[in-house]
Amino acid sequence: MTTAAQGIRIRHRGREPQVHPSAYVAPTATLVGDVRVGPRARVMYGAVLDAEGSRVEIGEAASICENAVLRASAVAGDQPVVVGALVHARTVLPDEFFVPPHTVALHTPVRLLAAGDPGLAEAVARVGFAQVAFGVDAGAADRLSRYERVAEVRAAEFAAHADDGVLEPGP
């Protein structure tokens, strides 16, 4: 079955979302900038896929559930979001690697942890998300200062949306 490209598509930084004709994008999903939705992929209601200064790629037959927010970044280098499963920042999956449902892939080489694994929080902390995503030193002793800096970086990145333009619905 082929479905028409749907959802709210927004041009950002001169880039437009691309949706494969066999993909389904719910009418209330929002695709911003260089977002690529692959064959038979599903982007459900309320999801927001925002490429910012990089890109978001949704692979073949991947599903993005309701109200998910996927945001790429180019603040601290090009950091695209490429979806096939729940894969945390800085993790590189080898070709043909399978991440089972309800698991998180972390680190390189890849380590898989179940959602309820007691070591998950510590493993995620070691990723250094603030540094990877925002270029903010995650080792700063003052947590409040670190969060304030993250908020400043994100606000500056979001300011680029002032020139965005909503596109006409696709075919």
16: in domain: yes
Most confident of 99-103, 149-153, 162-166: 149-153
Q: Are residues 38 and 76 in the same domain?
A: yes
pLDDT tens figures, 37-83: 998 888 989 999 999 889 999 988 787 878 888 988 877 677 788 87
| Per-residue confidence (pLDDT) for residue 171, from 0 to 100 | 58
Q: Are residues 116 and 154 in the same domain?
A: no
Q: Are residues 47 and 113 in the same domain?
A: no
pLDDT tens figures, 84-141: 766 677 787 787 787 876 788 888 888 898 878 998 878 877 777 777 777 887 665 6
CA distance 88 to 101: 14
For residue 141, give the DSSP letter: S
Q: Are residues 77 and 95 in the same domain?
A: no
Classify residue 40 as left (phi > 0), alpha (psi -120 to 50) or beta.
left
Q: Are residues 54 and 13 in the same domain?
A: yes
Alpha helices (H) in 72-142, listed in sequence order: 120-127, 129-134
By residue range, what is the domain housing residue 100? 91-127
CATH of the domain at 52: 2.160.10
Question: Whose CA is closest to 85, among 100, 66, 107, 67?
Answer: 100
3: in domain: no
